[in-house]
């Protein structure tokens, strides 16, 4: 089983959080923001998706939603150890569970109670400002030698070093983390940029029927880099102006 506490590449080194306050605060981010979680069982390649649905600080338990695909519930019931990971605003939050998990119901829906982890990995994978693009959607196309047909989607946010994309449907089996894709083309307001990009992580949200991809620009050219930085700076300036207006 891979170890989520292993050293990982990134702008900042990973941290191991061990205090109850730190652990619960980060789990609360995953819960409150309905962040999709990936579960991998020991010695198995299949990945399962779930969500945190409850945190009981007093009892020392957390509750997971049902697993997708559903055959993961059999592995839960057999008490196989597993790893959990989720991404929140560029931060990877991960932990291991080696304790038995108990099936139950929460508000009339099935759930699985597991022990609160005694430590979690907190890894800030980027240190550049990442600007959200909710107000002005940007179309994107991803293609390369390993993609049979170009994928069309949207840019959700962008920084000087990478971006977050969304594509319709489930592409988890079509895309591979660590793979460099030769062409990522985004239609920015002042022109289209094209660069190679490395896929850092991929998550499918079944409820939204969308695949979310974290990308890091790979060997980006000087002119393209300046265009990206100009665009991000413009968004950052607008966000600050809007924030100042709300508090004036």
Average pLDDT over residues 9-37: 82
Q: Which fold is adopted by the domain 15-124?
A: Pnp Oxidase; Chain A (2.30.110)
Task: Return the residue matching tokens 């907190």.
Answer: 122
Greatest CA separation found in the chain? 57
- 210, 102 contact by CB (below 8 A): no
Confidence at residue 12, expressed as pLDDT on a 0 to 100 scale? 63
Residue percentage of the chain with pLDDT more than 70 = 87
What's residue 160's pLDDT?
84
pLDDT digits (tens, 9 = 90+) for 160-187: 889 999 999 999 888 988 899 999 999 9
pLDDT tens digits along 184-235: 999 988 889 999 999 988 989 988 999 999 999 999 988 898 888 888 888 8
User: Is the pLDDT confidence value at 90 over 90?
Assistant: no
Q: What is the mean pLDDT of residues 88-111?
A: 88
How many whole angstroms separate alpha carbon 61 and alpha carbon 90? Answer: 26
pLDDT at 167 (0 to 100): 96
Tokens 């265009």 correspond to 227
Q: Stretch 74-88: mean pLDDT, rounded?
A: 89
The per-residue b/e assignment along 142-153, b for 16 or more CB within 10 angstroms, e otherwise, is bbbeebeeebeb
The whole-number average pLDDT for the span 83-90 is 84
Would the pLDDT of 129 be above 70?
no
Map out the domains of the chain as residue ranges.
15-124, 131-223
Q: Residue 83: pLDDT above 90? A: yes
**Average of pLDDT values for 83-97?**
87
Strand partners, 111: 104
Q: How confident is the model at residue 126 (pLDDT cuts 50, 70, 90)?
A: low
pLDDT above 60: residue 8: no
* Mean pLDDT of the 100-129 span: 85
Could you report the per-residue pLDDT of 48-74, keeping only the tens digit for each?
A: 999 999 999 888 999 999 998 888 888
Label residue 248 by pLDDT band (50, 70, 90): very low
- Asked if CATH classification 2.40.10.220 holds for the domain at 131-223, the reply, yes or no, is yes
Percent of the chain residues topping a pLDDT of 90: 43
- Assess whether pLDDT exceeds 50 at residue 89: yes
Find out whether 201 and 214 touch, Cβ atoms under 8 Å: yes
């Amino acid at each position: 089983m891979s170890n989520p506490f292993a050293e990982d590449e990134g702008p900042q080194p990973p941290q191991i959080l061990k205090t109850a306050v730190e652990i619960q605060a980060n789990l609360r981010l995953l819960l409150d923001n309905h962040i999709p979680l990936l579960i991998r069982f020991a010695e198995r390649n299949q990945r399962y998706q779930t969500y945190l649905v409850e945190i009981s600080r007093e009892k020392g338990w957390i509750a997971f939603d049902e697993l997708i695909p559903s055959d993961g519930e059999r592995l839960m019931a057999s008490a196989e150890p597993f790893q959990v990971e989720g991404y929140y605003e560029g931060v990877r939050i991960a932990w291991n569970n080696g304790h038995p998990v108990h099936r139950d119901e929460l508000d009339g829906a099935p759930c699985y109670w597991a022990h609160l982890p005694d430590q979690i990995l907190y890894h800030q994978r980027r240190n550049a400002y990442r600007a959200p693009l909710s107000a002005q959607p940007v179309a994107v196309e991803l293609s390369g030698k390993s993609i049979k047909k170009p994928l069309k989607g949207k840019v959700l946010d962008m920084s000087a070093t990478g971006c977050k994309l969304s594509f319709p449907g489930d592409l988890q089996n079509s895309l591979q983390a660590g793979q460099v894709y030769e062409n990522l083309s985004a239609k920015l307001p002042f022109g289209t940029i094209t660069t190679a990009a490395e896929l850092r992580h991929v998550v499918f949200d079944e409820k939204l029927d969308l695949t979310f991809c974290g990308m890091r620009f790979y060997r980006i050219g000087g002119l393209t880099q300046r265009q990206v930085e100009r665009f991000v700076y413009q968004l950052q300036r607008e966000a600050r102006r809007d924030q100042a207006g709300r508090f004036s």
